[in-house]
Amino acid sequence: MNVTHTLIVDDHTIFRKSLIRLLSTFELNLHFYEAANGVEALEVLKLNHIHLALIDIQMPKMNGIDLLKLAKENYPATRAIILTQFDDPSLIVHLIRLGADGFLLKECDPEELVLTIRQVLHEGHYFNKLVSDTLDYALKKGTKTLANLNITPREYQLAELLRNGLSNKEIAVCLGLTSTTVESYRKSLMEKTNCSNLADLLKLLYSTGLVSK
């Protein structure tokens, strides 16, 4: 089993150390790096090949939101799981938009954290019921047209990248997927929204406010 270079980003030293001790009790084969804020995290990312980052939101110097944005822009192969105490729906949607590969509250069970890590490393992403329900609610709140379409967080991320004009190949690199998988997600989005082209799809999603213009 290959070693997974894992970066823990949190401004509380006790939390970082406790999390490392906890994860070390599971058979995950993780090698840990630490950072107390986004600035330190970017330096670690620059100097090391980090496979996975567990990121807090509220930190000094640079918060987790800004870190996630920069990490996804500069180190797209690094998987990012947000681990925070904040469960605001608008925040969750924004983090999905920025490319988070997973989202958990700090109060989650250790088993759920381990499951999320394993799924993110194996499948590229994992979103629990909280995230799926939040996105579903936001879609329904935005417009009844999208109600009950079951658009997944990953499909939503795809729509955001399509809005930016990225090709299937470029999206595959950003999300750590194959071009074939990206095309499958794209086809699923079109079918769920009954849109025949990208322009119609984005016009529909713009109306929800979930995809920014």
Domains in the chain: boundaries? 4-126, 135-206
pLDDT tens readout for residues 162-193: 777 778 888 887 777 788 888 888 888 888 77
pLDDT, mean of residues 95-100: 84
Mean pLDDT of 19-45: 94
> H helices of 81-148, where?
89-98, 110-123, 129-142
CA distances from 67 to 16, 75, 166, 172, 181 (A): 17, 11, 22, 21, 27
- pLDDT mean over 18-31: 92
What is the spatial distance between Cα 98 and Cα 156, in angstroms, rounded to a whole number?
11
The whole-number average pLDDT for the span 80-105 is: 85
How far is CA 156 from each of CA 43, 64, 92, 185, rounded to the nearest angstrom?
Answer: 30, 21, 12, 10
**Better-scored residue on pLDDT, 141 or 62:** 62
- Which pLDDT band holds residue 47 (cuts at 50, 70, 90)? very high
| pTM higher than 0.85 | no
Tell me the two tokens of residue 123.
Answer: 């499948």
Tokens of 13: 């030293």
Say what the pLDDT of residue 144 is.
44
Domain 135-206, CATH among 1.10.150.120, 3.30.300.30, 3.40.50.720, 1.10.10.10? 1.10.10.10
Residue 211 backbone phi and psi in degrees, to 5: -110, 120
Query: Is 4-126 assigned to CATH 1.10.340.30?
Result: no
Residue of 120, 123, 113 whose CA lies nearest to 25: 113
Q: Quick one: what percent of the chain has pLDDT higher than 90?
A: 34
pLDDT band at 49 (very low <50, low <70, confident <90, very high): very high
